[in-house]
Amino acid sequence: MTAAEVEQLLRDGRLRATQPDPETALVELESARTHISSAEKIVADDPEAAFALLYDAMRKAVVAHMRANGYRVTRGADHVKTGEYGRAALDHLDIDWHLDEFELLRQMRNQSEYEALRIDDDEVREAFEHATAVVDAVARDLAGAS
């Protein structure tokens, strides 16, 4: 974890410190894994819904890491701040490329809700890679910390 960058987010009022809660973090991480397996089941029939689940899996994994380490985002723009935490706190996990895509996935998911974007097969495939990489990396990190 880049402590300095997380500290900066705290100073900027993007995060606030809370009591670390590793137990709830594991439940959240499990929920993220379930989202990935659910996405696999529905992707052929409903790629937009699968994409939304994969984005949520990625987000929940980052939130789980935050919770286990005693942080929460402050009110407003929650998902954007979650992405900022991910880039600041998880850069030692060698998943930069996947975290960089977090904001893109968030925007694409929003846009698909307006029916202004059809998610294609390549985009769903990439979302599977991002979600799996982030969930696995967070799981390894939390297991190592416990």
Binding interface with another protein (CB under 8 A): 76-77, 79-80, 83, 101, 103-104, 107-108, 110-111, 114-117
User: Whose Cβ is closer to another protein: residue 31's or residue 107's?
Assistant: 107
User: Whose Cβ is closer to another protein: residue 35's or residue 81's?
Assistant: 81
We find the least distance from the C-beta atom of residue 58 to another protein, in angstroms, to be: 14
User: Whose Cβ is closer to another protein: residue 38's or residue 110's?
Assistant: 110
We find the least distance from the C-beta atom of residue 28 to another protein, in angstroms, to be: 22
Amino acid at 14: R
Amino acid at 84: E
Amino acid at 107: Q
Per-position DSSP letters for 33-100, written without gaps between them: HHHHHHHHHHTTT-HHHHHHHHHHHHHHHHHHHHHHTTEEEPSSSHHHHHHHHHHHHSGGGT-HHHHH
User: Whose Cβ is closer to another protein: residue 9's or residue 61's?
Assistant: 9
We find the least distance from the C-beta atom of residue 115 to another protein, in angstroms, to be: 5
Q: Which residues lie below 8 Å from residue 125, measured CB to CB, with a gap of 6+?
A: none
What is the H or E stretch that residue 109 is in?
helix 102-113
We find the least distance from the C-beta atom of residue 143 to another protein, in angstroms, to be: 30
